[in-house]
Structure 1
Amino acid sequence: MNEQGRDPLIEMAMEQQELFPIREVSRLTGVNAVTLRAWERRYGLIQPTRTDSGHRLYSQADIDDIRRILGWLERGVAVSKVGSILARGHALAGQAGRATDTWLHWQHQARQAVQRFDQARLHRLFDEVFAASTLDQVFAEVFMPVWQDLVVDQRGYGQASEWLFLDQFLRCRVFARLQLAHVPRSRTVLLAPLPGQCHELELLVTSLTLGCEEIGVAPLASGQPLQELALVCERLKPDALVLFSHQSPTSEITRRLTRLAAVLECPLLLAGEAAEAAQDSLAGSPVACLGAQSSVMRQRLRQFLAGQLDT
């Protein structure tokens, strides 16, 4: 019997362990079975359990990972690089222990509020999460996973509107936090997106989480021309310019970054998954890589500005 047929063992596993056959996973995620098998064989991205007859069975966690993979692919990350991103996320979840259940509960509440377009409920939830979690956890563990799922899955009626609703809500709340944090700091850093390679919310969240007591981070507007950044830095005189992207930089972008670093009067740094993907290609260049995880980016930025981190 092939994977499209009915197998009593599959039915029993689905009932007892909430496992799903590959055809159901394809329906839920929009990823065809051939691609799911290829991700498993070539990249080890998803490792479903098997029945005695060899049929693949996927857990809800597997389905969640598939949606995360789609999110990273949508943002331009190569499929060969997604495995390390997932592994890093799983490691962080494992370290979190029981807190993960709380984050999943909050994610569920956020999804319910978004489905109802209930802004008052979202505001209450945001305040509750903010009071009980670190700044990094508010976004990395609760709100951005929900936002990323909605970025990927907009096929159903109303899903695009749900994403726009949550995106607008989060941009307003993050912008408000940035305004509250807008006080003089000993160091100032400009944060700009690589052209066309991130959403405004991702840039704003990075601005909020990258700053600290001694370092203020000012985001530049989406659409900022790369070729004019030298002029912007000449006039604003920041202590560093950080470029942000979740897409692997092309060889042309890498060359442009190297040329930009040569004419800037301040250091040039790269952040986001682009920094993880470009570490080898930028080794020895004047461009420093900060990484993709908020706490790591923040630590490396402090070290770099203190002269303790080489490019």
Structure 2
Amino acid sequence: MTYQAMDSSAAPLYPIREVSRLTGVNSVTLRAWERRYGLIRPQRTPKGHRLYARDDIERVERILQWLNRGVPVSQVRELLDQPEAAETPAPQMGDWASQRQHLIHAVDSLDLGRLESLFNQSLALYPVSLCIAELWQPAILQLEERWGDQFGATLQRRLLETFLRTRIGTRIYHANQLSNAAEVLVTRMPDDTSGFWALLTGLAVSSAGYRVQLIDGDLPLSEFPMAIERLGVKALLLASGQAERSDVIRRQLPRLADQADVPICLVGPVARIRASDLENTGVAVLGEEVGQALSRLRSMIDADI
């Protein structure tokens, strides 16, 4: 292995939490990259705590570049260790398509063990935003297109809802205990009975370091001003995979945005479907893709702070 971290006497060193904040890669994934694939090699304190040099952080950023181009994590080390002057070969397509098919098959066959394995493995090896964009979001879209009136579709849908609600809720709870950042309220819109998009949005926002208050149920839009005030949140994210009723989009949401003193944001397919209806209103249309929405949310919250 040609990679070596910079000596501690030559530059400052950063703890794993700071590296996670700087790169957006959570601590669990950084450890997995080190232990399972040897992608990074931080220094250690006498007590065994990891310390990362600037070279390590730059290497993490290069790893992210390869992953974003579709290279499987198992193939990244070979590419990183090539001399900089050498021409880098075009990466092969990653295994996301295969993982999506495994996920869909697990839902079709009601295989909770396989679903658990895919969930834990994907989030341990890849940044959360990449997992959502390449695995969970497109797989859910494909499943929703297939379900329709298909026999057994309701059972499959409810099983996946329950699974994600439990696993994501647990991750958000534990992440909230470790975060002192701004709090964001995430919920689904009235017509989105599954809540998939709110759950994925909540997971993404939590992984970015914010505290998340997830309301996983029906709440009249008229009650959100009180929720915002009492909970002290810095933004409200409304997610939906449906078009939602015109009255909600054209009247109730703009009215809510006028009443609230924090950003009122729309995320998920509804943001693409209804973008034109919300032009020249106070509602922030963050986009259908959760990762892109998160980037726009961060700029609004940071500017407000």
**Aligned match of 1:131:** 124
* Alignment deviations for residues 215-267 of structure 1 (CA, whole Å, 9 cap, x no partner): 22222132111111112122112112222223345552222122112222323
2:139 aligned with 1:146: yes
**Aligned match of 1:171:** 165
Structure 1 ranges of 4+ moved more than 4 A: 97-101
Tell me, in whole angstroms, the C-alpha distance in 2 between the residues paired with 1:164 and 1:236: 29
Q: TM-score, normalised by structure 2?
A: 0.61
**Aligned match of 1:192:** 187
Equivalent residues of 2:68, 2:130 under 8 A apart? no
Deviation of the 1:274 alpha carbon: 2.5
Q: Which runs of 5+ in 1 are unaligned?
A: 1-92
Equivalent residues of 2:104, 2:143 under 8 A apart? no
Cα gap change, 1:99 to 1:222, in 2 (>3 Å): farther
1:221-300 correspondence to structure 2 within 5 Å: 221-248=216-243, 251-253=246-248, 254-300=250-296
Cα gap change, 1:248 to 1:163, in 2 (>3 Å): closer
Deviation of the 1:303 alpha carbon: 0.9
Deviation of the 1:203 alpha carbon: 0.9
* Alignment deviations for residues 14-36 of structure 1 (CA, whole Å, 9 cap, x no partner): xxxxxxxxxxxxxxxxxxxxxxx
Equivalent residues of 1:185, 1:213 under 8 A apart? no
Tell me, in whole angstroms, the C-alpha distance in 1 between the residues paired with 2:209 and 2:129: 18
One-letter code aligned to 1:247: Q
Root-mean-square deviation over aligned CA pairs: 2.9
One-letter code aligned to 2:237: V
SS at match of 1:241: strand
Moved more, 101-110 or 149-158: 149-158
2:180 aligned with 1:206: no
Q: TM-score, normalised by structure 1?
A: 0.60
Q: Which runs of 5+ in 2 are unaligned?
A: 1-66, 72-90
Cα gap change, 1:237 to 1:107, in 2 (>3 Å): same
Equivalent residues of 1:210, 1:297 under 8 A apart? no
Cα gap change, 1:100 to 1:210, in 2 (>3 Å): farther
Equivalent residues of 1:147, 1:163 under 8 A apart? no
**Aligned match of 2:104:** 111
SS at match of 1:153: helix
Cα gap change, 1:185 to 1:260, in 2 (>3 Å): same
Deviation of the 1:214 alpha carbon: 4.7
